[in-house]
């Protein structure tokens, strides 16, 4: 007895029928443009799987990959998804999601967990130990403690503060290395930076580190900090920076995102050690680099990349 060979789709003339793969697309009216393939990641602290989602305030949050019953999750830890956006509390269904931060075995938990979540946290701790023993995960070394304004005045600002759309954002990388998050036609992430050498760019300037706000907050010492100001650019250009897209993908509504934007809302209390009180010094060659400073008292010209 011989097993039957698997059936292969063929055309009427006997030639093989190849199936074309369709590229994923996101609707122009979708609140989230992030593809599901770009949501999976691993916690850099414990090595377990997580899924990144955007909240309604455009800030990312890492959720546990699986769902839990509402009875097993405290009310303050319930999250639900709608249109790819994570919202706090439940959506009146029997299931919910929970942040990975309360289940991470390498973090100190201040929330009182239910017995089911405590069991899940112990399972993640065992998995972390297994990854470490097998060499698949290496715990990060403790970061050195930096004092405020420890860097030299002429050093390069690796995490600049950018002001756009009436908000200050903290970048994870230097300005000229911030990469576009859009998906190309080859299903890869766009390699181009969001800094456009042909368009008007921002300017480094010194602004108050504690802007006046109507909200109640702790009083900070008055002082100036180096900020890359984009507020004088048109709204469309500022929105392109906020969505972290290159000029080629700024108007490509059918192109989805393969990664989350790296912007983080700047908080002078939490990010006080990243405040720079001096503008970046110009390069020795005399040529301006991407995002180079311009003195406020001198005529400002668009900064162009090298």
Q: Encode pLDDT of 171-187 as tens digits.
A: 999 999 999 999 888 88
pLDDT band per the 50, 70, 90 thresholds, residue 27: low
User: Does residue 146 register a pLDDT over 70?
Assistant: no
User: Does residue 144 register a pLDDT over 90?
Assistant: no
In the prediction, which pLDDT does 149 show?
Answer: 44
pLDDT band per the 50, 70, 90 thresholds, residue 282: low
C-alpha to C-alpha distance for 115 and 202, rounded to whole angstroms: 52
Q: Encode pLDDT of 185-225 as tens digits.
A: 888 899 999 998 887 788 999 998 876 544 555 545 568 89
C-alpha to C-alpha distance for 217 and 226, rounded to whole angstroms: 22
| pLDDT, mean over the chain | 80
Tokens of residue 157, six digits? 């600002």
Winning range, highest mean pLDDT, from 1-5, 29-33, 64-68, 155-159: 64-68
Residue in 54, 143, 43, 34 with CA at minimum distance from that of residue 102: 43
C-alpha to C-alpha distance for 231 and 185, rounded to whole angstroms: 32
Winning range, highest mean pLDDT, from 119-128, 204-213, 268-277, 295-304: 119-128
94/252: higher pLDDT: 94
C-alpha to C-alpha distance for 192 and 195, rounded to whole angstroms: 9
293/29: higher pLDDT: 29
User: Does residue 243 register a pLDDT over 70?
Assistant: yes
9/76: higher pLDDT: 76
DSSP-assigned states of every residue in the chain: --PPPPP--B-TTS-B-PPPPPPP---TT-S--B-GGGTEEE-TTT--EEEEEEETTS-EEEE-SS-EEGGGS-GGG-EEEETTEEEES--SSSEEB-BGGGT-TTS---SPPPHHHHHHHHHHHHHHHHHHHTTS--PPPPPPP--TT-S-TTS--SS-EEEETTEEEE-SS-GGGPBP-BB-TTSSB--SBS--TTS---EEEEEESS---SS--------EEEEEE-TTS-HHHHHHHHTT--GGGSS-TT--BSS----EE--TTTTGGG--SSPPPPPTTS---TT-B--TTSPP------
Tokens of residue 98, six digits? 């929970």
């Amino acid at each position: 007895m011989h097993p039957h060979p698997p059936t292969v789709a063929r055309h009427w003339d006997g030639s093989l029928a190849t199936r074309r793969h369709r590229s994923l697309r996101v609707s122009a009216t979708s609140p989230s443009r992030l593809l599901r393939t770009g949501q999976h990641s691993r916690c850099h602290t414990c090595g377990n799987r997580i899924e990144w989602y955007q909240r309604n305030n455009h800030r990312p949050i890492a959720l546990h990959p699986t769902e839990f019953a509402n009875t097993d999750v405290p009310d303050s830890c319930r999250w639900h998804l709608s249109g790819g956006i994570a919202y706090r509390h439940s959506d009146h269904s029997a299931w919910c999601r929970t942040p990975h931060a309360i289940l991470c075995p390498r973090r100190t938990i201040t929330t009182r967990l239910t017995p089911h979540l405590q069991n899940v946290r112990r399972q993640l701790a065992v998995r972390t130990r297994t990854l470490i023993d097998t060499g698949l995960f290496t715990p990060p070394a403790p970061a050195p403690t930096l004092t405020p304004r420890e860097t030299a005045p002429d050093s390069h600002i690796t995490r600049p503060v950018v002001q756009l759309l009436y908000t200050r954002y903290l970048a994870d990388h230097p300005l000229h290395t911030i990469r576009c998050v859009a998906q190309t036609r080859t299903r890869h992430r766009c390699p181009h930076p969001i800094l456009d050498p042909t368009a008007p760019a921002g300017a480094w300037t010194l602004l108050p580190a504690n802007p006046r706000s109507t909200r109640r907050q702790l009083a900070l010492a008055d002082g100036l900090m180096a900020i890359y100001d984009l507020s004088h650019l048109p709204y469309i250009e500022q929105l392109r920076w906020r969505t972290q897209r290159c000029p080629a993908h700024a108007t490509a509504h059918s192109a989805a995102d393969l990664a989350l934007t790296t912007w983080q809302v700047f908080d002078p209390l939490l990010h006080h050690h990243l405040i720079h009180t001096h503008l970046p010094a110009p390069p020795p060659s005399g040529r301006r680099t991407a995002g180079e400073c311009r003195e406020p008292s001198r005529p400002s010209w668009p900064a162009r990349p090298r």
